[in-house]
A and B are shown apart, each in its own frame.
Chain A
C-alpha cells in the first residue's frame, strides 16, 4: 500500500480521477435494459405472497392453513413452524450489527406478532390471484395485546412489554423486571455538573422526531430456487449479496456455500436494504413447492414491514462562556428500535457532539423496543436525529450569545489533534474548511425578504472501511474487467472503473466494471457506511497495481532485461536499459503474449480497509413561511462537505443533493402516522409525502477536498453526511422566518399555523 501513498491526492497528474465521464452502466439505465429485483424471472416460477399481522401486538394462538393448501394452484404454505430456531447471536454487518434470532423472528413471526405488517405466513401459487386468494383462506387466531409505539410511553414502567426476556443492558445494576428498554449507553468526559455551574449562559431544549422511511422507489424483490439437491440460488435487490447469503444461511440453517446470491440492480436502498425480508421466505417456499418462487413487495408492505428509522426524543443542554466557548454539554437520546432491539442510538450518541471540542459532557442513549417495524439503517443512522437536537440548540445558543451561528461553531469546532467525543483523535479532517466554505459563500450573505429565514447546521459521519474484494482481469486484447462484490447503488461502477484506469494509465473506455455473484468474487461487506469508494476502491487500486507489477515483469521477460529496467507509463511498458533498442509494449501487446509469459494476466485483492476519513458537512438553507397556510417553501439551499477527493465530482454532488432532499423531507413532510390500534395510516406515497421536484430548489453542492492519506486518491466517504444537517438547517431557517423555535418534526403546515396563531394572539 505504501507505494500508492506517494501519489499526492489532487495531483495535476491525475487524468481520469476528478473528471466527469458518463457512467459505464449509463446506457442500460436510460434504456430500460438494467435488470432490477423484479425484472428477473425463472422458468416455472411461482408467485409468493405474505400474510401480515393486522394487529400491532398479538399472541398467535393458532394458524390453520388447511383451506389455503386445498385451493387449486397453491403449491406451498409456510408459517413460523417451518423455520428452525436460531440462537441469539450478534452478527456484525460492518456499519451495524444484527441479532440473528431477532432477524429470523422478524422475517416470520413465531409466537407473537409484534407490529402491524409482521409476517405470519406465506404462500406460493401459480399466479398472484391464486396466491392472494390463498392468503384470505389462512385462518389465524390472535389474542390481541395492548401495544405501545411512542418511545417515552414504551419506557414507562407500566408499558406493555414486547419481550418478557428483555432486561435493560448497560445499567449500573441488572434490573429485576423485564422492560422495553433494551440498552442504555453512555459517553462522557470531564465534570459536566461543575462546568454547567461555571457557565455564563446555559441553554436547554427538548426535540422530537417521528419514524421516517428510507423511501427507495424500488420495492423489495427476489427470485429464489431451492433445488432437489439442496443447492440454492437467489436473485435479489439488496445492498449486499454476501449479506443476503449470510442471513439466508442463518435463518434457514444452511451452509453459505449452498447458496449463490446474484445481485440485481438496486433501485435505492439508503440503508433499508441492508437486511433481508423476502429472501428466506422465498427459499422456504421453493423448498416446499419444488419450484422457483418470485416475491415482490407492494408499497404498502414496504411501509408496514420494512425500514424505517427511529422516532426519537432528544434532550440537549449547553453551558457556554460569554465569548461562545462551550464548556459543558448534556445530551440524552431516546430512540425507537421497533419490534426488536437495535435502534441507531449508539451512533446517534457517538455523533451527537462529534463536531465540537467540549471539555465536559455527558451523553446518554436509550434503545427502546416498540410495536412498529424493526428499524433498519437509514443513511448515517441516528446522526440526523442527534444533529436535529444539537444543531437546533446551538442555533438558540448563538441567539442568546448574540453570535453569528457559524462563528459559534468555528469557535468550538474540532480540528486535527482533537480527541473526538466518541474516542479517537481526529486527523486530516476538514470541518473548519467546510464552515469557511459556507461562511464565504454568496448564499450566506444574500439578502432575505419578508417571511423568510436562514438556517445553518453542521453534521458528521464516521464513514467506514471494512472487508472488500476486487479482481482485475486483462483480456487478450488488453481490455480490462474490474470485478467487485459491492452493489452499485448510486454510480460506484464509475468510480471503480476510473480508479482502475487511472492506476493502469489506460483510457477509461478500456475498463468495464462488473459486480459479481457470491460464488464469483471474494467476500465483500455490503454497500453501506459510505464505504464502497473508499474500501472497495482501495481493493481495486491495489489489484490494478498488482497487474501493473505483473505487466512490468512480463515486459522484462520479453525484453530479457531486469525488472527494474522497466517503467510503466501511459498504459505501456518502457525499457530503461539503454542497451536495448526496443519500443514500448502496450497493455494490449503484453496481453497478446500472455500465454508465453506465464498465462492469464489477473490479480485479486481482498482487504479489510482501515482509516476511512470522517466526513463533515455544513449546510445553509433559506425558507419562506406562508403565514396564511403555514406552508414552508425551501427557497435556496447550499451544502458544503469535506469529501477528501471527489473521484467523480458529479456523482459526489448527486450524493450531497440527494441527502439534502431526504433531509428536507424528514424536516417538513415525512412521518409515520399510526391510528389508535397501532396501524400505519399513511402507508403509501400519496399520504407519506417524500419531496417531489416542485418542492425543492436547485441544491448547490460545494465540495471541499481535504485529502484522506489512507486512500490512494484521497477519498473519504460521502453518501451519508449530507442527510445529517438538513433537519436542523430547515428548523433553524423556520425560526429565522417566524421568530419561534419549532422542536417537533415534521414542521407541517398545521403545526406552523398553530405556532403563528399563538404568536400573533
Chain B
C-alpha cells in the first residue's frame, strides 16, 4: 500500500511526513519524527503515556492514525518547555517530587496541560477524574495531584 503524504504542525513547526495508512500518530512521532518523549505503555488507549494535544483536544496518540494529523496542530511533551524555561507544570512536578520512574510523566504533563487550558481552577476531584486516563504505577498520584493544583494556582497568579 502506498504511503500517505501528511502536512501538519508539531509544537508550532510545520512538519511533513509519509505515513503508512495503518500507522498511528504515536508511531510517526516516535519513529519518523524522533519525538520519543511520548511513550507507548499499552497501545490501546488505556494508560495515557502517549497523551498529546491535537488542536485543543487531549488524545491518546496511539489511538489516532497519523494521517488524521493532516492540517491539525499537534502539541507533544517536547514543546511544553519554551525558550529554555520549564512550563509551571513541569517545574511543579519537580518541586513536588511528582514522578519516580518518569515514564508516565510526559503523558501526565500533557493531560494536565489540557486540563488547565480548559479549567484553570480545578478541584482535587476534578484533577483526579481528568487524570484517570493516565496510569502511574509509582506515585499513588498523591504528589501528582498536588503538583497540578499548585501549578494551576501559579498559572492563575501569572494571569492576574
Do the beta carbons of B102 and A265 come within 8 Å of each other?
yes
Which residues on the A side are within 8 Å of B105 (C-beta)? Answer: 29-30
Give the CA-CA distance A30 to B110 in the complex, in Å: 10
Known A-B contacts A22-B95, A684-B44, A690-B135; the reply to A698 vs B77 at CB < 8 A is no
Do the beta carbons of B76 and A654 come within 8 Å of each other?
no
Known A-B contacts A32-B35, A690-B135; the reply to A299 vs B101 at CB < 8 A is no
Do the beta carbons of A660 and B49 come within 8 Å of each other?
no
Do the beta carbons of B103 and A30 come within 8 Å of each other?
no
Known A-B contacts A31-B90, A32-B36; the reply to A299 vs B142 at CB < 8 A is no
Q: Which of the 9-residue segments A203-211, A212-220, A545-553 touches chain B? A: A212-220
User: A713 → chain B, closest Cβ, in Å?
Assistant: 19
A662, A686, A698 — most chain B CB neighbours (10 Å): A698
Please, which residue of chain A has its CB at the minimum distance from the CB of B102? A29
| Residues A255-280 near B (CB distance < 8 A) | 265-270
Do the beta carbons of B39 and A661 come within 8 Å of each other?
no
Q: Does B25 contact A (CB under 8 A)?
A: no
Give the CA-CA distance A467 to B36 in the complex, in Å: 34
User: B27 → chain A, closest Cβ, in Å?
Assistant: 9
Q: Does A758 contact B (CB under 8 A)?
A: no
Which residues on the B side are within 8 Å of A693 (C-beta)? Answer: 127-129, 131-132, 134, 136, 141, 144-145
Please, which residue of chain B has its CB at the minimum distance from the CB of A214? B137
Do the beta carbons of A699 and B138 come within 8 Å of each other?
no
Which residues on the A side are within 8 Å of B78 (C-beta)? Answer: 31-32
Do the beta carbons of B143 and A686 come within 8 Å of each other?
no
Do the beta carbons of B97 and A30 come within 8 Å of each other?
no
Q: Does B38 contact A (CB under 8 A)?
A: yes
Q: Does B46 contact A (CB under 8 A)?
A: yes
Give the CA-CA distance A216 to B95 in the complex, in Å: 23
Do the beta carbons of A684 and B46 come within 8 Å of each other?
yes
| Residues A670-693 near B (CB distance < 8 A) | 684-686, 690-693
Q: Does B42 contact A (CB under 8 A)?
A: yes
Interface residues on B, range: 35 or more
Q: Does B86 contact A (CB under 8 A)?
A: yes
Which residues on the B side are within 8 Å of A33 (C-beta)? Answer: 37
Known A-B contacts A31-B81, A32-B36, A490-B100; the reply to A661 vs B94 at CB < 8 A is no
Do the beta carbons of A30 and B99 come within 8 Å of each other?
yes
Interface string of A9-50 (1 = CB under 8 A from B): 000000000001011011111111111101100000000000
Do the beta carbons of B103 and A32 come within 8 Å of each other?
no
Interface string of B44-85 (1 = CB under 8 A from A): 101101000000000000000000000000001110110000
User: A233 → chain B, closest Cβ, in Å?
Assistant: 19
Please, which residue of chain B has its CB at the minimum distance from the CB of A218? B103
Do the beta carbons of B141 and A35 come within 8 Å of each other?
no
B37, B77, B102 — most chain A CB neighbours (10 Å): B102
Which residues on the B side are within 8 Å of A23 (C-beta)? Answer: 94, 97
Do the beta carbons of B135 and A490 come within 8 Å of each other?
no
| Residues B111-160 near A (CB distance < 8 A) | 124-125, 127-129, 131-146
Give the CA-CA distance A692 to B129 in the complex, in Å: 9
Q: Does A475 contact B (CB under 8 A)?
A: no
Return the contact of B97 from the options A25, A215, A654, A661 (Cβ within 8 A): A654
Q: Does B10 contact A (CB under 8 A)?
A: no
Give the CA-CA distance A138 to B99 in the complex, in Å: 42
Do the beta carbons of A270 and B99 come within 8 Å of each other?
no
Q: Does A94 contact B (CB under 8 A)?
A: no
Do the beta carbons of B140 and A696 come within 8 Å of each other?
yes
Which residues on the A side are within 8 Å of B99 (C-beta)? Answer: 26, 29-30
Known A-B contacts A32-B76, A699-B142; the reply to A651 vs B137 at CB < 8 A is no
Please, which residue of chain B has its CB at the minimum distance from the CB of A20? B97
| Residues A690-711 near B (CB distance < 8 A) | 690-696, 698-699
Known A-B contacts A31-B90, A654-B143; the reply to A36 vs B103 at CB < 8 A is yes
Please, which residue of chain A has its CB at the minimum distance from the CB of B95? A22
Please, which residue of chain A has its CB at the minimum distance from the CB of B138? A658
Give the CA-CA distance A489 to B138 in the complex, in Å: 9
User: B47 → chain A, closest Cβ, in Å?
Assistant: 5
User: A278 → chain B, closest Cβ, in Å?
Assistant: 15
Which residues on the A side are within 8 Å of B20 (C-beta)? Answer: 129
Which residues on the B side are within 8 Å of A241 (C-beta)? Answer: none
Please, which residue of chain B has its CB at the minimum distance from the CB of A652? B97
Please, which residue of chain A has its CB at the minimum distance from the CB of B77? A32
Which residues on the A side are within 8 Å of B109 (C-beta)? Answer: 30
Do the beta carbons of B44 and A267 come within 8 Å of each other?
no
Which residues on the A side are within 8 Å of B96 (C-beta)? Answer: 650
Known A-B contacts A30-B90, A31-B78, A686-B46; the reply to A657 vs B139 at CB < 8 A is yes
Return the contact of B137 from the options A20, A266, A690 (Cβ within 8 A): A690
The 8 listed contacts between A and B (C-beta, < 8 Å) are A32-B35, A32-B36, A32-B77, A38-B39, A217-B104, A489-B101, A658-B137, A662-B137
A-side residues, CB < 8 A to B, are 20, 22-23, 25-36, 38-39, 129, 214-219, 265-270, 296, 298-299, 489-491, 648, 650-651, 653-655, 657-662, 684-686, 690-696, 698-699
Name 9 extra pairs, CB < 8 A, besides A267-B104, A685-B46, A695-B132: A30-B90, A30-B105, A31-B80, A32-B106, A268-B100, A490-B100, A686-B46, A693-B145, A699-B140
Closest 6 CB pairs of A and B: A32-B37, A267-B103, A29-B102, A661-B140, A657-B140, A685-B46
